[in-house]
Amino acid sequence: MSKLTTKVALVTGGSRGIGAGIARRLARDGAAVAITYSKGAEAAASVVDEIEGAGGKALAIQADATDADAVVAAIEKTVAALGKLDILVNNAGTAIPKPFEESTLEELDRVLDINLRGVFIATKAALKHLNDGGRIINIGSSVGERMMTPGLAAYSATKGAVKMFTQGLSRELGNRSITVNNVQPGPIDTDLNPASGDWAEPQLALTALKRYGHVDEVAALVAFVASAEAAYITGANLTVDGGTNA
């Protein structure tokens, strides 16, 4: 039996990048997986096709992380279609890199709304359904702990907030054996942070391993945290960053 057989997971922002990698991996480990997306219906459908083609169960739901009603509805649809909810992965996130002084209030609100408020909304809705022994896994960032490059002040502030939200919530859910953890990627090659170009160069230089990470390397850590073997890990910030923060 695979590690997550009988489990149901919801991955927000699971149509591309790290979220898609997590969805594929959780499905490979036996979980039925729902993913949300905001605009990329085709990309979401192809993740579902891939999982179903490999014999798994998956479902794509359009739900913008800034739309509280849509996020709540996505959780309800997941439970209605897949029967229950055991694992929530709060992955949907964005960055708008630029000097803080040049950022507009709209841009700052957007980063806050997706990266922090969106996590609050999904978590609150999921808690109504999460079974004892459930898992909440937030995708923070290595820059939520240590910041070395300019242009991401607001983004790193939201990820620092995700870190403290994780720690605080873990104190509230321990009596239900629900663990709450924060997986903090470093530079991972995705549409948000491509491994080539001017923007990538300083990030690459800061890693100890001198390379960008792959989405599967984040997904592997998430799959472990989701498994029964990780039952005693909670309130933890687990970094997968090629040594960036070393």
- Interface with ligand NDP by CB under 6 A: which residues? 12-19, 36-40, 64-66, 91-94, 114, 139, 141, 185, 187-188, 190-193
In terms of CB distance, is 12 or 237 closer to ligand NDP? 12
**CB closer to ligand NDP out of 45 and 233:** 45
Smaller CB distance to ligand NDP: residue 92 or 137? 92
DSSP for 67-90, written as a single string: -HHHHHHHHHHHHHHHS-EEEEEE
Q: How far is the CB of 27 from ligand NDP (least distance, A)?
A: 15
Q: Of 56 and 93, which CB lies nearer to ligand NDP in the complex structure?
A: 93
Contacts with 41 (C-beta within 8 Å, 6 or more apart), sequence order: 60, 62
**What's the DSSP call for residue 188?**
B
Give the nearest distance from C-beta 15 to ligand NDP in angstroms. 4
CB of 175 to ligand NDP, least distance (A): 28
Please identify every residue annotated as catalytic. 155
Nearest-approach distance from CB 7 to ligand NDP, in angstroms: 21
Min dist. Cβ of residue 41 to ligand NDP (A): 8
CB of 185 to ligand NDP, least distance (A): 4
**Residue 22 or 178 having the CB closest to ligand NDP:** 22
Sheet holding 179-185, edge to edge: 58-62, 32-37, 8-11, 85-90, 130-139, 179-185, 237-240
| Closest CB to ligand NDP among residues 3, 214 | 214
